[in-house]
Structure 1
Amino acid sequence: METIQTDICIIGAGSGGLSIAAGAVQMGARVVLIEGGEMGGDCLNSGCVPSKALIAAAKQAHAMTAGAAFGITPVAPEINFAKVKDHVAAVIAGIAPVDSQDRFEGLGVRVIREWARFTGPDEVTAGSFKIKARRYVVATGSRPFIPPIPGIESIPYLTNETIFAQRDRPEHLIVIGGGPIGMEMAQAHRRLGCKVTVVEAAKALGHDDPEAAAVVLARMRGEGVELLEDAPVVRVGGTDGAIEVEIKNGRIIKGSHLLMAVGRQVSLEGLGLEAAGVNHSRKGVTVGADLRSSNRKVYAVGDAAGGLQFTHVAGYHAGIVIRQMLFGLPSKSSTAHIPWATYTDPELAQVGPTEAEARKAHGDALKTMRFDYAENDRAQAERKTDGFIKVMVVKGRPIGVTIVGAQAGELIGLWALVIATKRKMGAVAGTVLPYPTLAEVSKRAAGAYFSPTLFDNPLIKRVVGVVQRYIP
């Protein structure tokens, strides 16, 4: 067995692991990167990239049916489902070289394509290699969670890891789980010609602002997606092409394919964390704000760190860890400024607490500013008037923002910056934006914060009156 001495050993070549490896090796550290699966991790191969490529194809199909308001006769698109999946595969292939083994070896990273296991507090084995490093990073990501539903072990089902290889169009896709993954896939498949039923045990998009979620759900129902809420699944059965899902009220939904989208679980099995003295739970490695575990040599990032499960969070964690490992600088992570988006149509984006969460934390000190897409000229021009922005403000400073509507995932970036840099509402209200753009919904919401002071203040009106009478 070959022993490798190195500065940093990273387990997992997803977003977080790759970011750390690239940054560290280019700044002079010796880096070993271990990956037993595919380079690029879930995001590239079975998550963000293929799902957004599929959504893009579905948007093109939907546009052909939605032109009547513009004076364009709707037509039924001819959908070649296999070629849609070729498009998805081509997008992955176009991005893959950036995450490839060749690229990272070219940067100077030692890449080992094996499964890793801790054999001690400062030692990892992977295949025929023993790695002894000064510091380790667990960046193993997560995988689909499959709940123990009676019958699930005996029927074929899809997850995000397998659905993008499905080249035959499902006649009737049943989706168990009404979270972001389930809802994105439900709408995309409906637009691509599938009958779709979503079964959710509680409320669809239940972790989001309920008013914003209602806008998305209304659109999906309008497009023909059947949404069953408060419908726990008690049994599944059937065979390939003939699936049955029984819900608590006794109703049986019959479909051709089943997608399990009820959440994700952190991938820590087989890592030997006990041997390394690394405390962990089913939620992930137990870490502090500095992302260090109970073993000071071992960090965890991304999904493995047990917090928000987003690709951009893993990239953010990479910066936190690099500052500590390479420069010895104290650095701590926070979630207050982390945005996220659900890429349905309309999109739903959030940074910071929702209105209900902010109200619970701040009570009467909270002010909520709102502006509707229907009052935005660009939204009117493009017939994309469904949606709104809602800004939660405490003492002049935004603490949370909800946006539902066209390009919400793009618009939330401004507010992530404002919250991260602790700017006040005046910074957004004073920004000059090109007209007409959807971005103006943010400026108008910020301006609304100052409207009562400017327009409903008797003192302001007296001052204006004096100026108009006496100052030439």
Structure 2
Amino acid sequence: MATELTMPKNDMDMEEGTIVKWLKNVGDKVEKGEMFMEIETDKTSMEIESPAAGVLLAQFYQGGDVVPVNTVMGYVGEAGEKVPEQAAKGDAPAAEEPKAEAAASVAEKKENEYDVAVIGGGPAGYVAAIRAAQLGGKVIIFEKDTVGGTCLNRGCIPTKTYLKTAEYIHHIEAAASRGIVVNAEHSVDMPKVVAYKDKVVKQLTGGVGSLLKGNGVKLVSGEASLEDATTVACDGKTYKADKIILCGGSKAIRIPIPGVDHKDVMTSDEILAMTEVPERLGIIGGGVIGCEMASAFSAFGSKVTIVEAMDRVVSMLDKDISAEVDKTLKKGGASVNCGRKVLEIKDNGGHPVIVTDNGEFEVDKVLLSIGRAADLGCLGKLADQIKTERGKIVVDDTMKTSVDNIYACGDINGRIMLAHSAFKMGEVAAENAVKGTAVKCDLSYVPSCLYLSPEAASVGLTEEKAKEAHPEGVRIGKFNMAANGRSVASGETTGFIKVIADNKYGQILGVHMVGGVASEMIAEAVALMQMEITVNEVAESIIHAHPSYSEAFAEACADCLGMCIHQPPKKRNKTISNSFLKCL
């Protein structure tokens, strides 16, 4: 069957696009993923990929024509294949009409038959279900626990709630320096801290449930798994679906060492339900979760000891961020012990003792924070048919698995185990599942954030990786937050913004920052990198509000050029290329 070539809807506000030119003529061979047309919208111009391979069979519009989104502009298929005639241009279907057609197909489905079935109600799953429903599909979603997944229930949201509580404590402790008199010593009522966290979680998970219901998505509670390529089994019942999206999420890893089953050893799932502040908390693993929990419980009053096998904490981030995080943790009272391999956890009079290859640490509670593994339980009877590698489902850039009608998104495919990347994967999978397209999920610029005080954030290549990828050289600009007016006024002078740029053209390769609102500031860097804006354009063309934390980003970009205003000058790099200088 011939495949429609439609005007894509590339953003929420897009209603039409202008055809600049066809890159293929009728009769030309077209490969799947090959660019066949150039279009222009009110925001950008782009080339459009073919969703299928074959021969270009028809062109209904020409260069200069303005075409509503979702309108069929032509067909690609087998040579000689007949295609539907073009509707009159004035009768081109509006953007909502395909939805109506899809809605008609929904009515034709039997009670337990669906266009799309989603297993897992976490960030990838509930977003995929809602987007599939928005596109007109009849959708069912299965969740074995509470919608929202690890992120809302046991991860991002509850952790950030604790960290905000810790931030209040830091503000109270710093109040005297700003002339605020605090007469009483502060203390932490941990049951109330947990209750507040639970209230936040309940509000957000309830919101997700309402969104699913409002979009007509059927929610089934229970542990679901694949019966076959089009059938999902859950609690003794089976459900049929044309397309299935697997979003099983992940589970905390427990290292296979003696003593790991000690009664006082917890994962990140259990520590968030603990209603007491341990006097001594040992944390195995200095990644994001470990560092955030260390920061929170140090503020709550625990004596925290971190044991990390790598030579630095948050080793996946840029080395300058690692160094700053190390200082922050130690300043908060934590003991940070890197380069230590944990051999066992033994008991000493009821207290767990972390035994490493270089010393022992006796504590009252132990948090295992060494990462998460994909939860593949949803594969069911297709466990041997769906391709996996290293315990994760293999997908292509469209989120499709080795079984043609099954997709996998979020932690379960292990590409980037973050909630915001899961959101995007879920959207892409849903669109491809409902519309039959082959849209790719671009995860080139996914930010990573660390919610300490101060925060840290990163996107793109680290300095080390950038130098490996660009042997011709890179430019590094850095601006310290101690020279930023807003930071000084706010008493948040710790940190920096570091920008890494290609030495030839000034392309931004990586941005790494530590500062008061780094998790918010990183969004600008992500957007500009996605649009391929250069450091010279940021430094010379974009005006930032003053005073603001974000001014530091522009200053760091200017520093790449040796043109930073608010810090002492540095010598211009004599090896800078002529092509880069022309960009100035």
- Using the size of structure 2 for normalisation, the TM-score is 0.74
Q: What's 1:261 paired with?
A: 369
CA distance in 1: counterparts of 2:479 and 2:217, whole angstroms:
49
Q: What's 2:486 paired with?
A: 378
Q: What's 2:195 paired with?
A: 86
Q: Which runs of 5+ in 1 are unaligned?
A: 458-472
Q: What's 2:156 paired with?
A: 48
Deviations 1:425-459 (A, max 9, x none): 244222222210001001112223344699999xx
Matched, 1:330 2:441: no
Deviations 1:295-349 (A, max 9, x none): 0111111111221110000001122213312333331123321111011122111
Within the candidate set 543, 552, 556, 1:432 is matched to 543
**Over the residues paired in the alignment, what is the CA RMSD in angstroms?**
2.2
The alignment partner of 1:289 has SS state of coil
Structure 2 counterparts to residues 286-435 of structure 1, below 5 A: 286-394=394-502, 395-429=505-539, 430-435=541-546
Q: Which amino acid aligns with 2:287?
A: G
CA shift, 1:274, in A, is 3.1
Matched, 1:285 2:285: no
Cα gap change, 1:345/1:106 in structure 2, threshold over 3 Å: closer, same or farther? Answer: same
Q: What's 1:178 paired with?
A: 286
Cα gap change, 1:154/1:376 in structure 2, threshold over 3 Å: closer, same or farther? Answer: closer
CA shift, 1:20, in A, is 1.1
CA distance in 1: counterparts of 2:418 and 2:164, whole angstroms:
20
Matched, 1:448 2:556: no
Structure (1 or 2) with the larger CA radius of gyration: 2
CA distance in 1: counterparts of 2:127 and 2:384, whole angstroms:
24
CA distance in 1: counterparts of 2:187 and 2:138, whole angstroms:
53
Matched, 1:164 2:272: yes
Deviations 1:362-410 (A, max 9, x none): 0233111111111111111122111111111111211211111221111
CA distance in 1: counterparts of 2:390 and 2:185, whole angstroms:
47
The alignment partner of 2:264 has SS state of coil
Structure 2 counterparts to residues 68-107 of structure 1, below 5 A: 68-72=176-180, 76-100=185-209, 103-107=211-215
Matched, 1:32 2:140: yes
Cα gap change, 1:159/1:4 in structure 2, threshold over 3 Å: closer, same or farther? Answer: same
User: Does structure 2 retain, via aligned residues, the 8 Å contact 1:31–1:110?
Assistant: yes
CA distance in 2: counterparts of 1:107 and 1:274, whole angstroms:
30
Structure with the bigger RCO (C-alpha within 8 Å, sep 6+) is: 1
Query: Higher mean Cα deviation, 412-421 or 266-275?
Result: 266-275
User: Does structure 2 retain, via aligned residues, the 8 Å contact 1:120–1:275?
Assistant: no
**Alignment coverage as a number of residue pairs:** 454
Q: Which amino acid aligns with 2:556?
A: A
Q: Which amino acid aligns with 2:314?
A: L
CA distance in 2: counterparts of 1:210 and 1:129, whole angstroms:
51
CA distance in 2: counterparts of 1:189 and 1:90, whole angstroms:
20
CA distance in 2: counterparts of 1:314 and 1:241, whole angstroms:
41
User: Does structure 2 retain, via aligned residues, the 8 Å contact 1:240–1:257?
Assistant: no
Cα gap change, 1:449/1:199 in structure 2, threshold over 3 Å: closer, same or farther? Answer: closer
CA shift, 1:64, in A, is 1.4
Query: Higher mean Cα deviation, 208-217 or 275-284?
Result: 275-284
Structure 2 counterparts to residues 102-141 of structure 1, below 5 A: 103-141=211-249
User: Does structure 2 retain, via aligned residues, the 8 Å contact 1:348–1:408?
Assistant: yes
Q: Which amino acid aligns with 1:110?
A: K
CA shift, 1:252, in A, is 2.2
CA shift, 1:107, in A, is 2.4
CA distance in 2: counterparts of 1:108 and 1:68, whole angstroms:
54
User: Does structure 1 retain, via aligned residues, the 8 Å contact 2:246–2:378?
Assistant: no
Within the candidate set 237, 253, 261, 2:346 is matched to 237
User: Does structure 1 retain, via aligned residues, the 8 Å contact 2:119–2:225?
Assistant: no
